[in-house]
Amino acid sequence: MDSMKFYFYFLLGKLRYKYFMQIPENDNEYKNSRIWFVVDGATAASVNLLVTGAFLAAVLKALGVSDSFNGMISAIPSLACVIQLLGLELAKRMKKTKFFVCIFAVIHRLLFAFIFFIPFLKISLSAKAVLFITLFLLAQVLGQMIAPVAGNWISSLVRENIRGKYFANRDSIMVIVSVTVSLAAGKIFDLFRVNGDENSSFLFISGLLLVMAIINFIALSMVKEPRFSYFSRDNKEIHGTLVKKRVAKEAFSHYEKFRDTFKKVICDKRFKTSIVLTILWQSAFFFSTPYFGIYQISNLKLSYTYIMVMGFIGSVVRVIVTPLGGRIADKKSWGLVLERTLFVMAAAFTINAFTVPSNAHIMFAVFSVLTGLAWAGIAPGIFALQLDLAPDGDKTAYLGINAAIMGLFGFLSSVVGGYILQFMIDHDNRLFGQTIYGQQLLSLGSGIMLFILVCYIKYKAPKVYRIEE
């Protein structure tokens, strides 16, 4: 009995050291932590591709969800961004955040693995749909709750002078791994569908998500967390009883009230530019994108393999161009990179508005290449600019509130898009006597909003946001 008790406390001690006391103490340990964050990003991106787009649309269609409601469910990740405000408040009360991020991240991804198993449950179709939506929302909430904390964690490991290169390289690796995984998954999906056993493909996706969740948890556990706790008089980090005594004396009187923090962020003239930009971006993106997956499957009749192959080609373009974007950003600014790549994305959405079943293969190929080129600057650029514009020492609050605001606008934009799509479906996809799919109108709307965003960056954003050539 004493032996079991000894090993139990020994294990607790190991876990405590692993998740609360590991501090990078030299350049090599900082480098290794950044590498493990790349592994985290690659697995997280793979999970994201497997629970969005055509894969998500397929399982929702199997559960009997309508096209318009399908898209609104796909936009839940944007709505879930609002929960980052809760994550922000929790982060303010934690001196160490590694354990919090690791546990919530693995639960978040295990829920994704389970929801693709739902089609096999012996319950009614409506009950399956309700359970799916509930768990999908919960998974997204947990993921968004840790987002600002994880963002601050990774920024503390990357020096400002190498952020452009690091985030560009990390993004490239994330893309290569995730599209390779999704391409393989798409091929297997088609094999099951050809054999008339599409539901079994959901079991494969569930198992693949489980593997990704385990690898991601290991990667995050290997990342060390820079000093972020209480210190003794000789500048050494303290834990356990000493921390409890210190906390008892403070009684949390130094924490800002949430409304004061919120007011400070939205009134910050420098950071307000980031808020406006991300609102416009999220609104444009979620106005149409959540409805692409079901459109590709039901109307354009594209195979999963073709969708994933085009995604792979677009991602290759993204990987090739991303390092160039990082170098330009380090020399000039991410604002300049964003201006150019958002213009390309606006053109891509506008072109996509003319995609119909008769030209679907060629138009989707053009769209994939253009979006791949655009994502090379947009993905790392938006995150890097938020980090640059948020003041040091308070980045978690700024990133969390920014994400919550843009997430809410993104979801509201998708709801408007859903009503437009349902209107077109109710009218047999006819407008002014012409056959026009609702997704075509939504894509055109996204393109127009993105052109407005480009004009905002070019003419309204302050000089700190971009550097003229």
Q: What is the pLDDT of residues 1-44, one digit of tens each?
A: 567 766 665 566 666 666 666 676 677 888 888 888 899 989 99
| The dihedral sign for the CA sequence 51, 55, 60, 66 | positive
- Residues in Cβ contact with 98 at an 8 Å cutoff, skipping those fewer than 6 apart: 19, 20, 22, 153, 220, 223, 225
- For residues 407-445, one letter each, b for 16 or more C-beta atoms within 10 angstroms of the residue's C-beta and e for the rest, the string is bbbbbbbbbebbebbbebeeeebeeeeeebbbbbbbbbb
Query: Is the Cβ–Cβ distance between 278 and 433 less than 8 Å?
Result: no
CA distances to 163, 375, 378, 379 from 341, rounded to whole Å, are 19, 7, 6, 10
Helices and strands: H and E segment counts in the chain: 19, 2
Picking from 136-140, 261-265, 406-410, which range would have the lowest pLDDT averaged per residue? 261-265
Q: How do residues 291-344 score in pLDDT, each as one tens digit?
A: 887 788 778 888 888 888 888 888 888 878 877 877 777 777 777 888 889 999
pLDDT recorded at residue 192: 82
In angstroms, rounded to a whole number, what is the distance separating the alpha carbons of residues 278 and 268?
15
CA-based end-to-end distance of the chain: 73
Mean pLDDT of the chain: 80
In angstroms, rounded to a whole number, what is the distance separating the alpha carbons of residues 305 and 100?
37
- The predicted model scores a pTM of 0.71
pLDDT recorded at residue 359: 92
User: Is the per-residue pLDDT at 462 higher than 60?
Assistant: no
Coil, strand or helix: which one is 394?
Answer: coil
Picking from 171-175, 264-268, 349-353, 392-396, which range would have the lowest pLDDT averaged per residue? 392-396
Highest mean pLDDT among 209-218, 305-314, 406-415, 425-434: 209-218
pLDDT recorded at residue 272: 83
User: Is the per-residue pLDDT at 464 higher than 80?
Assistant: no
More confident residue, 267 or 22: 267
User: How far from chain centre, in Å, is Cα 7?
Assistant: 39
pLDDT recorded at residue 431: 77
Q: Which string of DSSP letters, residue by residue, matches 246-289?
A: HHHHHTTTTPPPHHHHHHHHHH-HHHHHHHHHHHHHHHHHHHHG
Domains of the chain, each with CATH number or no CATH: 26-227+258-462 (1.20.1250.20)
Query: Is the Cβ–Cβ distance between 167 and 154 less than 8 Å?
Result: no
User: How far from chain centre, in Å, is Cα 300?
Assistant: 27
Closest Cα partner for 337 from 311, 370, 373?
373
Mean pLDDT value across residues 97-124: 88
**Token code pair at residue 228:** 């972020």
Local confidence band at 190 (pLDDT 50, 70, 90 cut-offs): confident
Query: Is the Cβ–Cβ distance between 147 and 80 less than 8 Å?
Result: no
**Which neighbouring-strand residues pair with 431?**
434
Mean pLDDT value across residues 41-69: 82
Local confidence band at 463 (pLDDT 50, 70, 90 cut-offs): low
> Whose structure tokens read 């073709």?
306
pLDDT recorded at residue 353: 92
Q: Is 1 buried (19+), middle (13-18) or exposed (0-12) by CB count in 10 A?
A: exposed
**Which neighbouring-strand residues pair with 237?**
231
**Token code pair at residue 267:** 């009134």
In angstroms, rounded to a whole number, what is the distance separating the alpha carbons of residues 200 and 459?
52
